[in-house]
A and B are shown apart, each in its own frame.
Chain A
Amino acid sequence: MKEEVSEITWSKLLELRPEWLWLITLILIIAPMIFPIHAPFRINESTLRVYEFVENLPEGSVVVSGGAGNYAFMYETSAAFIAFLNQIKNRDIKLIIFPLHPDSLMFEPWAIRVAGFDKVKEYGKDWVILNYIPGGSYITLPAFMQDIKGLCRTDLYGTPLDELPIFNNVDNYEDIDLWVDCGANSMWSLVRYVAPYHVPIIGFVHSAYYPMFQPFKAAGLVYEFTNGIRGGAEYEKLVGYTPWNLGTITMDAYNLYSIYVLILVILANIGTQILKKGGCV
C-alpha cells in the first residue's frame, strides 16, 4: 500500500506541468539581480590576454569596431564589448565604428550610450560612427582597408569625413591599431579581408562559436577571443564595475540555474527507476 502511494506521488511528479517548473526558473533568474551573490569564478587565460592587449595600447591609438552582424543584439557578447568600452573610455584612444550589417547601426549607438562612452568622449574628435554600406563585406572590407574616406565619404549623420577631426590622421589600414568585433558571424570575413593587412583582431564571440574559431587563433589571424557571457563576466571583473554589469549577474544565475536543472534531472531519474521497478513505465 505504502509503495503504491509513493508510486502515485512519483508519477505525479514526473507528469508535473511545465508551468510550475518555469515559475521557479523565473524566480531563480530574478533573485541574483536583487541579491547578488558574487560567486567566485576564475579568469580565463584568453580574457586576460585581451585585457592586457588593450591596456598596453599606446595613447592615441585608433580602434575600429567593425562587424557586429545581425547577432549583435544577442547580449551574450555585449557584456564584453561594454566592458571594453569602459576600459578605453578614460584613455586617449579613438574609436571608429564601421557597421557591416544594418542592425549594428542600432546596436552600436546603444552600447555607446549604455557604457557612458558618449558622456566622456566627444563625437567627431574621439569617436565616430560610419554609415552601413551595402554590397557585402567581400567588397566593402577591402575598400575600407585601402581608403576609408574614399569608401565612406560621410558619417552616419551625413557629415563629410574631412570635416571630422578624428580623420585628420586616419586614412587606411596603416593607421588602425586594433580591430574589435562584437558579434559572431562576421569573423569569417574579417579573417579573410582584415587579417592579411596585419591589423590585430580581437573578437567578443558567442560560446557556441568559441571552439569553432580556435583554428583562426592558432593560425595567427586573430589575436584573441573572449568566450561568450563567461568571458564578459571575466572582463567585467578585470575592468572593475561597469554600469551594465551583465556578466557578473549572469554568473550568479548560472550557479542557481544549473543546480536547479541538476536537481530536476536527478528527481526525474529516481522517479523513472522507481516506476520501472513497479512496472508502471
Chain B
Amino acid sequence: MINFWIWIGVALTLATWSYLWKDSPAFRWAETTYIAAAVGHSFIVGLYTLRDRYYPIMHGKPLLIIPAILGYFYLFILWRRGRWVASYPIAIGMGVGLATQMSGTIASDFIGQTLGLISEGGRIIGATPVTAFTNALTIVMTLCSLSYFIFTVKPRGVYGIVYKLGQYCLMAALGAMAGNYILGTGLSITLATIRRITFGLQGYG
C-alpha cells in the first residue's frame, strides 16, 4: 500500500519539474492536483475552525451571529446588482487589519528602527576602532539610503551626491541579501524532495 502513495509522489514530482523543459499536460496535471488539494485541505481546516468559532454563538455570545452572517455577504460578489453588499465584510477586515498594522508599524519600524539607528551612535566613542568604524559606516549608509526615498527634492549639488551614494548603498544591500538567499531554502528542498522519494522506495516514511 505504501508504495502506491510513493509512486504518486514520484509522478507528481516529475510532472512538476517537467515545467522546466516546457509547459506540458503533465505539468498541468500536477498544477491542478496541487490547487485542488490545497483548496480541499484549506476548506476542511476552515470547516473545523468554523465549527469551533460558531460554538460560542449558542453558548453565551449571541452577538457573534453578526460576523457569521457578514462573512457570507462575500458571496454577493457573484450577483451583479447586489455586489455592493460585499463591501460590508471587507470594511470590517480592512478596519481591524489596517489599524493593527498602523500601530504596529509605527512602533516597530518607525520608532524602533530609528532608535536602533541612534543607539548605534552611542557605540562609536570609546569603542574599539573596528566597532566604531562599523557603527559609523552603518549610520552613514542608512542615512544615505534614506535620502533615496525623498521624492520632492531634485537631486542636485550636495544632495545629489548623497542621493547617488544612497542608490549604491541600496544596491549593495539588495545584492548581499540576494547572495545570502541563493544558497538558502530552495536547494535543500529540491534535495529533500528527491531524498524523500528514494527514501520512501526503500520502505521508510
Contacts and interface: CB of A to CB of B under 8 A. Distances in A.
B184 A244 contact: no
Given A135-B52, A249-B195, A261-B182, A102 B188 contact: no
Interface string B165-205: 00000000000000011111101111110110011000011
Interface residues of B, number: 27
A228 interface: yes
A102 B45 contact: yes
B178 to A, nearest CB: 12
Given A134-B52, A246-B188, A249-B191, A258 B204 contact: no
A58 interface: no
A246 B197 CA distance: 13
Given A19-B21, A29-B191, A250-B191, A114 B205 contact: yes
Contacts of B194: 29-30, 33
B11 to A, nearest CB: 17
Interface in A235-281: 243-244, 246, 249-250, 253-254, 257-258, 261
A258 B194 CA distance: 19
Interface string A95-136: 000000010000000100110000000000000000000110
Interface in A118-157: 134-135
Interface of A: 19, 22, 26, 29-30, 33, 74-76, 78-79, 102, 110, 113-114, 134-135, 206-208, 228-229, 243-244, 246, 249-250, 253-254, 257-258, 261
Given A26-B17, A207-B185, A244-B199, 12 more contacts: A19-B21, A29-B187, A33-B198, A76-B184, A114-B199, A134-B49, A208-B181, A228-B188, A243-B204, A249-B191, A250-B191, A258-B183
